[in-house]
Amino acid sequence: RQEAVSAQIQKLYELNCRFGTKFEHLSLALRHGWKDGLVDAAEQREVEELNRRANAAKHEGLGPCGAGAAVRIEAPAGERQPEQALGNYIGELERRYAALLRRSLKKNEPRYR
């Protein structure tokens, strides 16, 4: 992850120096370079791919403790119950989420009530 993001930041720095600009995002610097004819098609494809990989790396494994999937609560297989009989599945979700985090949920954490 660190290598992809470092390469993204380095490329942004290089383009800003080359163009004499101060863009905060690589996509904006690339768009400027393409529009002004400072970047050819091959470099554009290369930088777009670098930017896509780095942005994807920033979002990998960001769940609790690196978990990739959210906690799911489902009714037992084959049983379809009316809404009133389902009980407090939201409370159960909050209880399981707190158990997954190994701590109580904080006041400002998302609640589904």
Q: Is the pTM of this model over 0.75?
A: no
pLDDT, greater one: 2 or 95: 2
Contact (CB, 8 A) for 12 and 23: yes
Please calculate the CA angle 94-73-101 and round it to the nearest 5 degrees: 40
**pLDDT digits 0-9 by tens, 50-94:** 999 999 888 776 665 555 555 455 555 566 656 555 556 667 777
What percent of the residues of the chain are helix, what percent strand, and what percent coil, each to the nearest 5? 60, 0, 40
Give the H or E element holding residue 98.
helix 89-101
Contact (CB, 8 A) for 96 and 72: no
Nearest to 30 by CA among 52, 15, 8: 15
Residue written as token pair 């970047």? 39
**pLDDT digits 0-9 by tens, 4-38:** 999 999 999 999 999 999 999 999 999 999 999 99
